[in-house]
Amino acid sequence: MQTAESSGGSDLVIRDLHYSYDGNLPIFTGLDLQVQAGEFLAIIGPSGCGKSTLLNLLSGFASPERGRVQLRDRVIRPEDPGLGYVFQRPNLFPWLTAIENVEFGLRMSGMPAAQRRQRALHYFQLVGLAGFENYLTTRLSGGMQQRVSLARALALEPALLLMDEPFSALDAITRETMNDELLRIWDTLGQTVIFITHEIEEAIYLADRIVVLARPPAGIYRSHGNELPRPRSSQTTKTSPLFWEYKKRLIGDIAAVMRQQPVDDAELVEMGLSVATDHA
């Protein structure tokens, strides 16, 4: 499969990225990654390997020690209008109502009140929260808060959507619905999406390409192109032999990455790998 690395024309460029927290163990020592405009990239890797750190660097909340992160030849800043992010934790303003949270970025960008309310309501409904517009977010469940956070990012209709395990707090059914909604929105808007997940199946279901991160400071372990046809649906995609073939390959990669350090059983279970299948 042709990937961003081979095709040129990439949108997001990460070159020679170096990063460590306050002189501690380096997390990245020369990471390179290119993401094409409109590509849906999933990043997967064990807990603590640096996924959230990478997203912080991509969003401009953290700055590389060395190397560069650029979106269309410009250094990314968190306030860029073309950027939307959904963090691992919802990170909402507790003094605003749910719908006001969704409107917040639109207000900052100067969108007139009526237009931003209409836009916010559209995405609010899309994530299944109709009826909860005027709730303070502290009165919503964790999963609902995460959906507000998703609506807030989507409402910006960003060119680059950065998502850090956005659905991990949701129950399995809601998560599946959200995956389908996300694919539908992506199909309509054509953003570049970088989606971090612990779930191998979720990565395969959603992405055009799946990058497996190694333990720090190794960076990218392997990159897999995903040729499962689109549009995808649970019934056809998740039952296809190719889906299971990808799953097998990714389980192998994750197991190899985890063998770099003692394997934590709880971590394996969290990633959808039963301890019994602990690949010799």
Ligand X SMILES: Nc1ncnc2c1ncn2[C@@H]1O[C@H](COP(=O)(O)OP(=O)(O)OP(=O)(O)O)[C@@H](O)[C@H]1O
Residues that bind ligand X (CB under 6 A): 21, 24, 27, 45, 47-53, 88
Selected binder of Mg ion within 20, 52, 177, 260 (CB under 5 A)? 52
Selected range binding Mg ion among 11-19, 48-56, 92-100, 184-192, rule: CB under 5 A: 48-56
Token pair belonging to 241: 């032999």
Residue closer to ligand X by CB (options 267, 278) is 267
Residue closer to ligand X by CB (options 33, 120) is 33
> Residue 226: which of Mg ion, ligand X, none does it interact with, CB under 5 to 8 A by kind?
none
- Longest CA pairwise span in the chain (Å): 59
The burial of 88, by beta-carbon neighbours within 10 Å (0-12 exposed, 13-18 middle, 19 or more buried), is given as middle
Residue closer to ligand X by CB (options 46, 158) is 46
Nearest to 277 by CA among 254, 261, 257, 260: 254
Query: Identity (one letter) of the amino acid at 112?
Result: P
> How far is Cα 142 from Cα 169, in angstroms, rounded to an integer?
7
Going edge to edge, which strands form the sheet with 160-164?
83-86, 160-164, 192-197, 40-44, 209-213, 220-225
> Residue 95: which of Mg ion, ligand X, none does it interact with, CB under 5 to 8 A by kind?
none
> Residue 158: which of Mg ion, ligand X, none does it interact with, CB under 5 to 8 A by kind?
none
CB of 53 to ligand X, least distance (A): 3
Asked if 168 is part of the footprint of Mg ion (rule: CB under 5 A), the reply reads no
CB of 218 to ligand X, least distance (A): 12
Token pair belonging to 193: 């999406």
Residue closer to Mg ion by CB (options 51, 119) is 51
CB of 55 to ligand X, least distance (A): 8
> How far is Cα 252 from Cα 239, in angstroms, rounded to an integer?
20
- SS3 of 126, please? helix
Please tell me the count of residues contacting Mg ion according to CB under 5 A.
2
Residues contributing to the site for Mg ion (CB under 5 A): 51-52
